[in-house]
Structure 1
């Protein structure tokens, strides 16, 4: 099976886009950083505007992701004065997937963190998981990416923008898996730190670090992760994620993982 997939990759002959191979200077050395800022992080609240994302019984994914994203950003701004925080959205507006990664690239960000909520036909599914860009290993991983990538269907001229990518065609995901990020190791490191916080401090079920073909991560030229903070299809988790306390706990877990990652980078300098 693996040989067949590799052969298909070669036959498809995908060419890496310029954005995916760009190499900005990382490790807090960018010459054009704002004065006093040594690092830039982009916080991406999934969905928004005409794209509600997953639907719970009482809440839309877009509203939970925005609330948590703003809380994560605020924690970083209050506790890490040397870090510049940029949001892909701060209100209920629709932002195209490629524009989200472009915001990070234009600002030469050092990290890209995309926040989402999960959903499943199995109403008992629960827990948090963090993704990096890569080849899915299970159907569940592929299903999550398909649901999140379906946002492009709300965009105009999406086929041209995403090189004929079909969010419901598995071949598109095999092609996308060819785009291996230069920052895969750092992305996996941050993802592991996030999951550790969720399990040990936030006390959420740890669904692990995973990989799949997320378009929002495709062209980011920096370490990037997509976090599924919980299932709003599960009534108990929906209530937790709707509540101020639950959102604060989740945001603090992401913040602590970010801070640990940042401190390790400093220590290597």
Structure 2
């Protein structure tokens, strides 16, 4: 049975933090107990974002859930072929919906050494328009010129990135009994982010290291670099190992959508991620 996350009211934040720090499922091998991170990379969990009823971001013809699943499966095969000592697990290998809290729980249960969540980005902005009746209506305006890659680790939000956090955490609403799973946490409410902001991952340093390698690889093939950023993301919060969420491109950008949906583009993205993992593994095991 997977342990569910409880988000208590903000007035009990201190109690909440204490309960999380003592009850989260964290691997406890001797090497991890001494350094906080297992230097050996033997199990990697790949997490294709969204799935099933949760389509994620949508482009002109592609859907995030489909693109990231294809990339994750190709990456897993590449790892298994060229790193025979590494076991690859998937949070999903088909088009199914997996609640956010179950994804890192799978990694924790299998004592994974890395957790990599793969997503595609979208650049949308809310626009308020005043009607003839004096009332305002809000519509979503797409920004097709926005492009690039960025990789997130669990940490403090920057104000400019709250839209990303809200969009990715909104998958919670598609879970059955989400109020029970997350104690009434509202992923659409920016004020709720204060809870996440107080929960820094003990694996932050190694997560940033892996994320930096990923961004370096994207840059190597001339992708626009939006950098490594810290963000309050539910899918990373309880991971008991270095964990990242990488946005492989903007599906709202026609050129990047075509790139991510093409075999050549996916193969290049897979090479970027594989090379980053390989660099991290080599450095960690020295």
Normalised by the length of structure 2, the TM-score is: 0.83
Alpha-carbon distance in 1 for matches of 2:32, 2:25:
19
Are the counterparts in 1 of residues 156 and 200 from structure 2 also a CA contact under 8 Å? no
Alpha-carbon distance in 2 for matches of 1:89, 1:142:
26
Residue 145 (structure 1) aligns with:
165
Alpha-carbon distance in 2 for matches of 1:232, 1:69:
16
Q: String of CA shifts for 1:45-91, please: whole Å, max 9, x gaps.
A: 00111110001010100000001111111111010011010011111
- How do residues 245-260 of structure 1 correspond to structure 2 at under 5 angstroms? 245-260=264-279
Name which of structure 1's ranges 231-240 and 163-172 shifts more when overlaid on structure 2. Answer: 163-172
Alpha-carbon distance in 2 for matches of 1:26, 1:41:
19
Aligned to 2:285, the other structure's residue is in SS state helix
- How do residues 101-116 of structure 1 correspond to structure 2 at under 5 angstroms? 101-116=104-119
Are the counterparts in 1 of residues 41 and 281 from structure 2 also a CA contact under 8 Å? no
Question: Which of 26, 29, 32 is the equivalent residue of 1:25?
Answer: 29
Residue 4 (structure 1) aligns with:
none
Residue 60 (structure 1) aligns with:
63
Structure 2: 5+ residue stretches without partners: 1-9, 34-39, 125-142
RMSD between aligned alpha carbons?
2.1
Structure 1: 5+ residue stretches without partners: 1-8, 30-36
Are the counterparts in 2 of residues 55 and 233 from structure 1 also a CA contact under 8 Å? yes
Are the counterparts in 1 of residues 43 and 113 from structure 2 also a CA contact under 8 Å? yes
Alignment partner of 1:97 is 2:64:
no
Distance 1:253 1:19, change over 3 A: farther
**What is the deviation of 1:159?**
1.8
Aligned to 1:97, the other structure's residue is in SS state coil
Distance 1:177 1:25, change over 3 A: farther
Residue 80 (structure 1) aligns with:
83
Alpha-carbon distance in 1 for matches of 2:25, 2:96:
29
Residue 234 (structure 1) aligns with:
253
Alignment partner of 1:205 is 2:208:
no
Alpha-carbon distance in 2 for matches of 1:81, 1:43:
16
Alpha-carbon distance in 1 for matches of 2:116, 2:275:
13
**What is the deviation of 1:23?**
4.2
Are the counterparts in 2 of residues 43 and 113 from structure 1 also a CA contact under 8 Å? yes
Alignment partner of 1:161 is 2:193:
no
Question: What is the aligned residue count?
Answer: 251
The list of structure 1 runs, each at least 4 consecutive aligned residues, that deviate by more than 3 angstroms after superposition, is 9-12, 18-21, 26-29
